[in-house]
Chains A and B, each alone.
Chain A
Amino acid sequence: MARIELKDVGHCYGPAGGRLEDYALQPFSHVWEDGGAYALLGPSGCGKTTFLNIISGLVHPTRGRVLFDGRDVTALATAQRNIAQVFQFPVIYKTKTVHDNLAFPLRCRNVEETEIRRRVQEVAALLNLESSLKKPARQLTADAKQLISLGRGLVREDVAAILLDEPLTVIDPQQKWLLRRKLKEINTALKQTMVYVTHDQNEAMTFADHVAVMDQGKVMQIGTPQELFECPQHTFVGWFIGSPAMNILPCTVAEGGVMIKDKKVPLPALAKAAATAAGALELGIRPEFVQISDTPGAGALGVDIREIENLGNYNIVMLDLDGLEIKAKISVGNPLPDRKAFIRLPEKSTHIYASGQRLNPGT
């Protein structure tokens, strides 16, 4: 268990000293607290795995330092870092039994055989692998193999962190849910620092206390699932998280409000925040917060209802504002106007972005 600190860590697979745009992972600093459950979320190829490999030492960062509990481990080899990592595809020692697979990390550290047996028993009980301890590991199912990978991390009581690199990719949907719950349980019970890499927002949001959203080698935002949902700091986060994605509408600033397609929306605080900003302005609002009514009023925008998608307990309503598509997510119980409707954008749930970055209305 350890507190993991990254100081200005960045990585470039090409020759060092290249342009910053060529970095697979843009330099950044962050601290993962001891015992926390973290997730790295982002589309494929955004640098998530590079990030993990830097922590585990499989990749040495081009720049920056990695600290475990304040100790600089940047130059240490993987074997000396005491990290456990579960890969996308189950990796097991095919020639060994389940017991020997779980015992291997301890044997590498010359732990006494009686102690090994005790630890393996404990971990096997935790992972429900007791009945297959004597079986050759290659005979197990994919999800059991992933549990073995995880178990090889758990047998070490002092493991610095457990890194999970899209561990549920090859698992059946039903098993996925069980395994994810198991992971969360283990994190709560053992207080191991866990970093979970995924491109699936549901996995990230349900597993982690803090999620880092990444895109093109850049960490866009780190926050609790609620923060990411309610207050995306970047249009990418708004777009990537939430289903359907956040509505992002090009806009301009006017006196006391924001203009969308020549229509003025009274959002004075946002307008003030954007008054001096440079770059293209965009308004962002989550479909959940768009209010629909059939009566016009102050600040309401007239729209056409294009399509209603019924998803069981709620409707996704596609609205047309002079050619701009806006989505709203409305509970099934709420009555919907027929074809013409009026929407309101509540200011506290609406954000304004300049060149993708959120502008804080407080300043």
Chain B
Amino acid sequence: MFVLYRSLKYFVLLVWSAFVALPFLWALTTSFKTANGVVSGATYIPWLQYEPSLEGWKVLFRGEGKGIDIITPYLNSLTVTLSASFISLLLGTLAAYGLSRFSWRAGPIRNADITFFFISQRIMPPIVLSIPFFLMLRMLGLLDSRAGLVLVYIALLMPIVVWVMVDFFNNIPRELDETAMLDGCGPLETFWRVILPNCKPGLVVAGLFCIVFGWNDFFFAFILTFTETQLLPVAIVSLNSSVTPWWSLSASSLIAVVPLVILAFVIEKYLSSGNLAGAIK
């Protein structure tokens, strides 16, 4: 019985791994192919079935005077994503703590309404935001700049952070805050020294949402930047031409996915040890 259960388990895992890993392998082989290698039917084994070439990769680093320079958009994407995520986490967590612990009131508007206001920002389709964002950034002179994108992403990411963290803080007993105050902490010290260390799982989830969204966003990056500043997803799409360059698209997607894979490994211990219980509801 045990053997059967074990084999079944490994079989399921194997199928699932293949499901997850094969697209990557597909992209990997494609990235080393030339036009001929791609269009002449499915081939898998280098040197035997097709002649590997570095053509697809060279294009990404302006090899032989043509193609694009992927490093600048890459760094742009890293900077924008990390700064927007960091600021959203910081402000969003503080806002969530305030909404969870203190009573706010403006006429009929109470805490729950403010929390819903934050979340409602993500209910409307992003397309309706594109024109206001464009106009606002133009007014501020921040079109086609990293700072402008950071601002836009903060507006988009903070609701997610507030949403995750309000719930998380609500599940932390108030007595913990009270104890910290009794032990001599002021309100901000209570937050930094006592409450925040207890929130690591929530922060990990919120941070993960932020980074994945920021890194993957194409829509706003495409609308709000032109020539000066380019983010990675836009740079990758710009590789496309009338003849789809599958090889360089594959290579660039592989590079693009690297930070998220590293992130997955870093937070794996949180994801696997059940630390996230109660973090997402």
Within 8 A of B (CB), among A83-104: 83-85, 87, 89, 91, 93-96, 104
Contact, CB under 8 Å: B184 / A109:
yes
Contact status of A58 and B194, CB under 8 A, knowing A82-B184, A105-B183, A105-B184? no
CB distance from A84 to the nearest CB of B (A): 6
Query: Per-residue 0/1 for B168-191: is the Cβ within 8 Å of any A Cβ (1 yes, 0 no)?
Result: 000001011011011111100100
Contact, CB under 8 Å: B179 / A108:
no
Assess whether A149 is interfacial by the CB under 8 Å rule: yes
Contact status of A108 and B185, CB under 8 A, knowing A93-B194, A94-B198, A95-B197? yes
CA distance A82 to B183 in the complex (A): 7
Contact, CB under 8 Å: A95 / B198:
yes
Assess whether A48 is interfacial by the CB under 8 Å rule: no
Contact, CB under 8 Å: B183 / A87:
no
Contact, CB under 8 Å: A108 / B189:
yes
Q: Tell which of B175, B179, B189, B194 has the most Cβ of chain A within 10 Å.
A: B179
CB distance from B203 to the nearest CB of A (A): 13
Interface residues on B, range: 10 to 19
Assess whether A235 is interfacial by the CB under 8 Å rule: no
Contact status of A104 and B198, CB under 8 A, knowing A85-B178, A91-B173? no
Query: Per-residue 0/1 for B136-180: is the Cβ within 8 Å of any A Cβ (1 yes, 0 no)?
Result: 000000000000000000000000000000000000010110110
CB < 8 Å: which of B186, B194, B197 contacts A77? B186
Contacting residues, chain A, for B184 (C-beta < 8 A): 79, 82, 105, 108-109
Contacting residues, chain A, for B186 (C-beta < 8 A): 77, 79
Query: Per-residue 0/1 for B86-113: is the Cβ within 8 Å of any A Cβ (1 yes, 0 no)?
Result: 0000000000000000000000000000
Contacting residues, chain B, for A56 (C-beta < 8 A): 178, 182
CB distance from A2 to the nearest CB of B (A): 15
Assess whether A78 is interfacial by the CB under 8 Å rule: yes
Contacting residues, chain A, for B175 (C-beta < 8 A): 87, 89, 91
Assess whether A329 is interfacial by the CB under 8 Å rule: no
Contact, CB under 8 Å: A84 / B182:
yes
Residue of A nearest to B194 (CB): A93
Interface residues on A, range: 20 to 34
CA distance A152 to B182 in the complex (A): 9
Residue of B nearest to A53 (CB): B178
Within 8 A of B (CB), among A38-65: 56-58
Contacting residues, chain B, for A87 (C-beta < 8 A): 175, 178-179
CA distance A83 to B179 in the complex (A): 10
CB distance from B169 to the nearest CB of A (A): 15
CA distance A84 to B183 in the complex (A): 7
Contact status of A78 and B178, CB under 8 A, knowing A91-B173, A95-B197, A109-B184? yes
CB distance from B157 to the nearest CB of A (A): 26
Query: Per-residue 0/1 for B186-213: is the Cβ within 8 Å of any A Cβ (1 yes, 0 no)?
Result: 1001000110011000000000000000
CA distance A360 to B179 in the complex (A): 44
CA distance A19 to B182 in the complex (A): 31
CB distance from B143 to the nearest CB of A (A): 44
Contacting residues, chain A, for B182 (C-beta < 8 A): 56, 78-79, 83-85
- Measured CB to CB, the residues of B under 8 A from A are 173, 175-176, 178-179, 181-186, 189, 193-194, 197-198
- Measured CB to CB, the residues of A under 8 A from B are 56-58, 77-79, 82-85, 87, 89, 91, 93-96, 104-105, 108-109, 149, 152
Top 3 nearest A-B pairs (CB, nearest first) are A108-B184, A105-B183, A78-B181
- A selection of 8 A-B contacts at a CB cut-off of 8 Å is A79-B181, A82-B184, A83-B182, A89-B175, A93-B176, A93-B197, A105-B183, A149-B179
